[in-house]
Chains A and B, each alone.
Chain A
Amino acid sequence: MNRNPQLNAHGELQHLITLEGLSREILQGILDTAEPFAEVAEREVKKVPLLRGKSVFNLFFENSTRTRTTFEIAAKRLSADVINLNINTSSASKGESLLDTVDNLAAMQADMFVVRHASSGAPYLIAQHLAATGRSHIHVVNAGDGRHAHPTQGLLDMYTIRHYKKDFTRLTVAVVGDVLHSRVARSQIHALRTLGVPEIRVIAPRTLLPTGVADMGVRVFQDMKEGLKGVDVVMMLRLQNERMQGALLPSPQEYFKYYGLTPDKLRLAKPDAIVMHPGPMNRGIEIDSAVADGSHSVILPQVTFGIAVRMAVMSMLAGG
Chain B
Amino acid sequence: MKIHIRNGHVIDPANGIDRAADVFIAKGKILGVGATPAGFEANATIDATGCIVCPGLVDLSARLREPGFEYRATLESEMAAAAAGGVTSLACPPDTDPTLDEPGLVEMLKHRARLPEFAHVYPVGALTINLEGKRLTEMAELAEAGCVAFGQANTPVLDTQVLMRAMQYAATFGFSVWLQAQDPYLAKNGVAHDGEISARLGLAGIPVVAETIALATILHLARETGVRLHLTRISSADGIEMVAAARATGIDVTCDVAAHHLHLCDQDIGFFNPHARLDPPLRSVRDRDALRAGLASGAINALCSDHTPVDDDAKQTPFDEAEPGATGLELLLPLTLKWAAETKLPLATALARVTFDPARILGIDGGTLSPGAAADVCVFDPGATYRVSREALKSQGKNTPFLGTELKGRVRCTLIEGHLAYDGAFV
Contact = CB atoms under 8 A, between A and B. Distances in A.
B319 A121 contact: yes
Contacts of A129: 316
Interface in B280-316: 313, 316
A211 B194 contact: yes
Contact of B320 (A20, A98, A120): A120
B199 A215 contact: yes
A120 B318 contact: yes
Given A1-B271, A97-B313, A119 B196 contact: no
Given A120-B202, A212-B196, A98 B272 contact: no
Contact of B318 (A5, A121, A186, A215): A121
Contacts of B207: 211
A212 B197 contact: yes
A284 B52 CA distance: 72
B321 A119 contact: yes
Nearest to A4: B271
B196 A120 contact: no
Contacts of B274: 125
B194 A186 contact: no
Contacts of A212: 195-200
A211 B318 contact: no
B319 A119 contact: yes
A223 B290 CA distance: 37
B313 A98 contact: no
Contacts of B197: 212
B195 A211 contact: yes
A104 B158 CA distance: 44
Contact of A216 (B199, B270, B319): B199
Interface in A102-140: 117, 119-122, 124-125, 128-129
Contacts of B204: 147
Contacts of A128: 271
A64 to B, nearest CB: 17
Contact of B205 (A122, A124, A210): A210
B216 interface: no
Contacts of A211: 194-196, 198-199, 205, 207
Q: Report, as a range, how many residues of chain B touch the other chain.
A: 20 to 34
B46 to A, nearest CB: 39
Size category of the A interface is 20 to 34
B316 A120 contact: no
A159 B320 CA distance: 32
Contacts of A186: 200, 202
A5 B271 CA distance: 8
A252 interface: no
Nearest to B205: A211
A134 B270 CA distance: 22
B320 A119 contact: yes
Nearest to A1: B270
A206 to B, nearest CB: 13
A290 interface: no
Contacts of A216: 196, 199-200
Interface string B260-285: 00000000001111100000000000
Nearest to B319: A121
Looking at A98, A119, A213, A215, the one whose CB has the most chain B CB atoms below 10 A away is A119
A310 interface: no
A212 B274 CA distance: 22
B202 A98 contact: no
Nearest to A21: B271
Interface string A211-224: 11101100000000
Interface in B178-212: 194-205, 207
Contact of A120 (B273, B319, B404): B319
A11 B281 CA distance: 32
Nearest to B204: A147
Interface of B: 194-205, 207, 270-274, 313, 316-321, 404
Given A2-B270, A99-B316, A125-B318, 8 more contacts: A98-B317, A121-B319, A122-B318, A147-B204, A148-B202, A212-B196, A215-B199, A216-B196
24 contacts: A5-B271, A20-B200, A98-B317, A117-B318, A121-B272, A124-B272, A125-B272, A125-B274, A125-B318, A128-B271, A145-B318, A146-B318, A146-B320, A148-B202, A149-B202, A183-B202, A186-B200, A210-B205, A211-B195, A211-B205, A211-B207, A212-B200, A215-B196, A216-B200
